[in-house]
Amino acid sequence: MRRAFYPGRFQPVHLGHVKAVRWLLERVDEVIVGVTAAQYSYTPENPFTAGERIEMLRAAFREEWGRLFVVPLDNVPDNSLWLSYVASRVPSFEFVATGNEFVKLLARERGYEVLELPLWERDRLQGRVVRELMASGGEWRELVPPGVAEYLERIGAPERVRKIYLSERVKTPEY
Ligand SMILES: Nc1ncnc2c1ncn2[C@@H]1O[C@H](COP(=O)(O)OP(=O)(O)OP(=O)(O)O)[C@@H](O)[C@H]1O
Ligand SMILES: NC(=O)c1ccc[n+]([C@@H]2O[C@H](COP(=O)(O)O)[C@@H](O)[C@H]2O)c1
């Protein structure tokens, strides 16, 4: 059984994540999706709770669900201990899948094989862009899977993100 650990904050789930998971499922049998920074919510960087992010993942991966483990993981203060902590919380894995250079470094130093994820349309397919579009009243729906857009509307996500950005005085760029 070939398993990859794929970490991300999923704030929110977007079409880049969908591409990444499908790409991975062509190469491994199962993917452990680590919902990181699980202890954070209602902040500009992390507006959604871990539970909400898990609901988004299910909406995005209904067909693939049987081959995924989705595990919420708090961030830990000491980076050198992060992957040991992760290994104690999730099913066993041999690969770490990421496009993030820092995660690659930590993984290689712990002896994991890294699956380097290609990035799709990175200028627009990133969580920060989706959040900023929500905050500024822009068109964010086309950047996420339809089921995720529906879910985000249902929980009032654009309104939440706008209020968080306003209360934290986060500067939103003009789109
Ligand atoms: N456009 C994309 N194409 C492929 N993989 C992506 C894309 N965007 C993010 N990923 C992958 O998903 C993981 C990170 O997910 P995460 O939700 O934390 O990041 P993000 O979309 O860059 O969010 P943020 O802008 O909030 O930091 C990384 O391994 C990254 O390589
Ligand atoms: N010390 C830690 O807890 C630690 C270290 C590295 C990455 N992480 C998490 O993994 C995520 C990796 O995803 P990104 O590719 O978005 O950076 C980070 O956003 C972070 O939440 C946590």
SS3 sequence of 28-88: CCEEEEEECCCCCCCCCCCCCCHHHHHHHHHHHCCCCHHHEEEEECCCCCCHHHHHHHHHH
Look up the pTM and report it: 0.95
Q: Please tell me if the CB atom of residue 9 comes closer than 6 angstroms to any atom of ligand 2.
A: yes
- What's the pLDDT score for residue 173? 55
Residue 136 to residue 150: CA distance in whole angstroms? 19
Q: How many Å lie between the centroid of ligand 1 and the Cα of residue 121? A: 11
Q: Which atom of ligand 2 is nearest to the CA of 74?
A: 3
- What's the pLDDT score for residue 61? 98
Given a contact cutoff of 8 angstroms between Cβ atoms, the answer to whether 23 and 119 are in contact is: no
- What's the pLDDT score for residue 168? 77
Domain residue spans of the chain: 3-116, 127-167
Given a contact cutoff of 8 angstroms between Cβ atoms, the answer to whether 115 and 24 are in contact is: yes
Q: Atom 6 of ligand 2 has which residue's CA nearest to it? A: 103
Given a contact cutoff of 8 angstroms between Cβ atoms, the answer to whether 34 and 73 are in contact is: yes
- What's the pLDDT score for residue 118? 94
For residue 32, what are the β-bridge partners? Answer: 5, 69
* Cα-Cα-Cα-Cα dihedral sign, residues 128, 41, 78, 93: negative
Give me the average pLDDT of each 10-residue run along the chain (175 residues).
Answer: 97 98 98 98 97 98 98 98 98 98 98 96 96 97 98 98 87 52
Cβ density class 112-146: b for 16+ within 10 Å, e for less: bebbebeebeeeebbbebbbbbbbbebebbebbbe
Write down the CATH number for the domain with range 3-116.
Answer: 3.40.50.620
Nearest by Cα to 160 from 130, 135, 129: 135
Q: What is the ipTM of this complex?
A: 0.97
